[in-house]
Amino acid sequence: SKSKRKKRTTNTMMMCSGVAAAFLKGNCGLQPMLGGWAAATSRLLSCSQHMMSSSTATNKQANPLKSLVDCPTAPAWDYDPRSSKTLGGDADFAFNRKKRKFYVDHTRFLGPLGDFEHSVFFRPSRFGKTHWLSVMEHYYGILHKNQFESTFQGLEILKDEQRDKSLESSFYVLNVTLPGNFTPNYEEFFQKCLNAGIKDFVSSHNDAGLCLGDTREIIDPIHSSTSLGEVAQKVKRAGGRLMVLVDEYDRAPLVALSSGKDMHDTEAYDQAVAPLRSFLGTLKGLGRMGNRYFVTGITPVAMAGLSIWNDATDLTHNQLFASMLGLTEAEVRAALVNVAEIGDEKELQSAME
């Protein structure tokens, strides 16, 4: 019944608020909170910017002004200062490479990440999740095979002799950005958004000679999960493997949750989760067919109670990937010295604080 569903959702949110508090406690001084999940979410988001510049490194550089040529946190390539005056702002990895923008090389994580076929990874907003999915898309995507060497030349991943080279440029990669703004007709908006992404995916591969067929035969305008399943079948018939990358799956549910009158008002939240439940269920089924997926999010709240947890590996607290996203203290120092051109030690220390 509707009342039982509300009660179950409320209990789930109360349980997960402690999870989020524990997740951020070490970096933000965030204590376990009393009250509803909406308050916890608000505090979580307000900590994002602070966490980005907080230290996750155990060793500080003896000389913070040391040239990046000799620094282990150096930019991944000889960047152009004219293109690097603004950090971030563009999540296209290949574009940033081409324009020689400042970038801290985290591609070394691609090697161990290849051992996990189905995984989820949670970090607050502004940690570079979207950009990282672009890195994964260009590394795994068959669509970018001809540009692979030029894109990754000189980066840490190509120096890893233990990496599984059979994974490089070997997947049909569908990079999905789910709608983040919750609206009264959210489910319809969700279906249109996901179908649009699938249509672009099919068209781009068709244009590259990797024919997947007519989009009109693939797209189900009402049920995007059906479209996703049909795409997987087309990829399989083409002799390929599908990898689905999902960016911040839970933004709309969190927005919907904050719109409630109180912690017991979960009607909007339930509406936001409904299409997500169907989508993640289909994704789980595709994983069992030899395909892969990597889902990013802000918190595990919207996944609580969903069956995808039975199949996916949560890498959020895996120490191996602790610094995969975001920046360490040493990396922030490197950016301030080489991009912001701060040459004075006191000014640098002030900027760090």
The 10s digit of each residue's pLDDT in 108-140 is 999 999 999 999 999 998 899 999 999 999 999
311 three-state secondary structure? coil
Q: Do strands 313-314 and 171-177 pair parallel, antiparallel, or not at all (unpaired)? A: unpaired
Cβ neighbors of 32 (< 8 A, separation 6 or more) are: 18, 21, 22, 25
Coil, strand or helix: which one is 242? strand
Residue 3 structure tokens: 């009342």
Report percent pLDDT > 90 for the chain. 46
The C-alpha atoms of residue 296 and residue 286 are separated, in whole angstroms, by: 17
What's the rounded Cα separation, in Å, for the pair 4 and 168?
Answer: 47
Each residue's pLDDT tens digit, 330-348: 888 888 887 778 888 999 9
Dist. CA 281–CA 326, nearest whole Å: 29
By CB atoms closer than 10 A (0-12, 13-18, 19+), residue 221 is: exposed
Average pLDDT score, the chain? 77
pTM of the model: 0.76
Residue given tokens 């995007």 in the structure block: 224
Residue-level pLDDT at 143: 96
Domain ranges of the chain: 2-46+105-327
The C-alpha atoms of residue 20 and residue 299 are separated, in whole angstroms, by: 7
Question: Would you say 291 and 232 are in contact if contact means Cβ atoms under 8 Å apart?
Answer: yes
**pLDDT tens across 306-328, in order?**
777 778 999 999 999 999 998 88
Model pLDDT, residue 79: 56
